């Protein structure tokens, strides 16, 4: 998409600004993200962010019309706008791109597919992602807006119900070779002047149309459906009034309706992909939960073992404390016995000395006693 010159200051148009903060940016799993809607010049807008557009290593940013499917047929918007990724550390280094686009039902989104390289976006020396938050800013200048129709726009599902009910009736009628009961009057337009197909071509077109309506998403269905409708729109016979009206009405809106179905197919495929990814995440989460329960059980077992070891440790400490206490008592008793032994040993020595002196005296007395006895006896 081509870059435009900076927006000129104009006072006769409505301008608006919108700032979008995306928290937990690095933990995003979606590849496609929309901001909240905001209004400028009575028109709703939103920012579209796409990671790795077409598998490139770039961030893509677009301005998008969120209610394009419900706007009146033929709506248009001409707008100049800018998109910025804010450097939250140094605003001067913020990246800003500008462009102008004519928004329509076919091109309701426009912007820059390679706005910023992911490596630069995640560069820690820059401030594009701060506190895991990305800040995107847009300025919109609406130049022209096609006036809305004076009728209430039908919801897309209403369109599908209305037109495809008519086609379903046509298919059912085709099985009876187009014979119906009712008015024979049918509106004929300029298509009736084209080359009139043969009955064989009409029957072949009916069969092709029926096969297309049975599966709108088969390969080349759009081309076959267009060819069948073109043939039948030129038929003068073999079709009821209701069938012709249904074919003309659907053919007049052919591109819009087939685009709606293709868009549905893409969005449905995206939904199924995200649903599958969600289911896979859920399975992984359940597996992690089971592992978590196992780990918790192991932790509880270890806590019990630790508690048992602590109990045994406290028991050993208690026995050691008692042993030390008894040993201290024994030590006191031992000192008392030792001291008493020394006292008794001293007494024995004193008594032994007394005994020796007494023996000497007794020996002297015994000798004197013997001499006295020998003299008189």
Q: Residue 277 falls within a domain, yes or no?
A: no
What per-residue confidence (pLDDT) applies to 59? 92
Q: Residue 324 falls within a domain, yes or no?
A: no
Write the CA distances from 258 to 23, 152, 250, 252, 254, integer angstroms.
Answer: 37, 22, 10, 12, 6
Pairing of strands 38-40, 95-103: unpaired
Residues 69 and 31 in one domain: yes
What per-residue confidence (pLDDT) applies to 232? 72
Residues 207 and 106 in one domain: no
131-159 pLDDT, tens per residue? 999 999 999 999 989 864 333 444 444 44
Instruction: Reply yes or no on whether the pLDDT at 12 is more than 60.
Output: no
Whether residue 87 contacts residue 94, with contact meaning beta carbons closer than 8 Å, is answered with yes
Instruction: Report the CATH number that the domain containing residue 28 is assigned in CATH.
Output: 2.60.210.10
- For residue 201, name the pLDDT band (cuts at 50, 70, 90): confident
Q: Residue 177 falls within a domain, yes or no?
A: yes
What per-residue confidence (pLDDT) applies to 24? 93
Residues 119 and 166 in one domain: no
What per-residue confidence (pLDDT) applies to 72? 87
Structurally, how many domains does the chain consist of? 2
Residues 70 and 95 in one domain: yes
Q: Residue 296 falls within a domain, yes or no?
A: no
Distance, CA of 97 to CA of 82 (rounded, Å): 5
Residues 22 and 84 in one domain: yes
pLDDT higher for 362 or 377? 362
Torsion of CA 356, 357, 360, 366, to 10 degrees: -110
Residues 163 and 229 in one domain: yes
Torsion of CA 348, 349, 350, 353, to 10 degrees: 120
75-100 pLDDT, tens per residue? 999 999 999 999 999 999 999 999 99
What per-residue confidence (pLDDT) applies to 7? 47
Domain that holds residue 239: 156-252
Q: Residue 108 falls within a domain, yes or no?
A: yes
Say which DSSP state 175 is in. T
pTM of the model: 0.40
285-302 pLDDT, tens per residue? 878 888 878 888 898 889
């Amino acid at each position: 998409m081509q870059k435009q010159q900076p927006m000129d200051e104009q006072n006769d148009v409505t301008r608006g600004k919108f700032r979008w903060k995306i928290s937990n940016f690095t933990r995003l799993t979606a590849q496609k993200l929309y901001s909240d809607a905001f209004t400028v010049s009575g028109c709703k807008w939103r920012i579209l962010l796409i990671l790795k557009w077409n598998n490139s290593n770039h961030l893509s940013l677009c301005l998008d019309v969120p209610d394009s499917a419900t706007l009146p047929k033929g709506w248009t918007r001409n707008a100049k706008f800018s998109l910025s990724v804010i450097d939250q550390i140094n605003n001067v280094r913020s990246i800003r791109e500008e462009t102008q686009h004519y928004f329509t039902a076919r091109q309701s989104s426009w912007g820059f597919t390679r706005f910023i390289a992911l490596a630069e976006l995640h560069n820690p020396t820059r401030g594009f992602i701060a506190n895991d938050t990305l800040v995107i800013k847009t300025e919109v200048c609406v130049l022209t807006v096609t006036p809305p129709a004076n009728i209430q726009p039908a919801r897309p599902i209403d369109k599908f119900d209305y037109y495809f009910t008519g086609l379903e009736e046509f298919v059912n009628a085709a099985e009876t070779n187009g014979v119906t009961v009712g008015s024979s009057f049918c509106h004929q337009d300029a298509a009736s002047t084209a080359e009139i197909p043969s009955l064989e071509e009409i029957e072949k077109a009916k069969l092709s149309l029926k096969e297309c309506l049975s599966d709108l998403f088969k390969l080349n269905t759009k081309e076959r459906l267009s060819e069948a409708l073109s043939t039948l729109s030129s038929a003068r016979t073999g079709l009821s009034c209701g069938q012709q009206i249904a074919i003309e009405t659907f053919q007049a809106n052919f591109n819009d309706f087939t685009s709606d179905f293709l868009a549905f197919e893409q969005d449905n495929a995206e939904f199924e992909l995200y649903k599958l990814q969600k289911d896979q995440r859920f399975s992984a989460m359940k597996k992690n939960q089971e592992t978590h329960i196992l780990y918790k059980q192991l932790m509880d077992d270890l806590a019990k073992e630790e508690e048992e070891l602590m109990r045994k440790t406290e028991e050993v400490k208690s026995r050691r404390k008692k042993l030390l206490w008894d040993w201290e008592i024994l030590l006191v008793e031992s000192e008392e016995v030792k001291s008493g032994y020394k006292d008794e040993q001293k007494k024995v020595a004193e008594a032994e000395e007394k005994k020796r002196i007494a023996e000497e005296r007794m020996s002297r007395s015994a000798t004197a006693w013997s001499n006295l006895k020998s003299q008189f006896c």
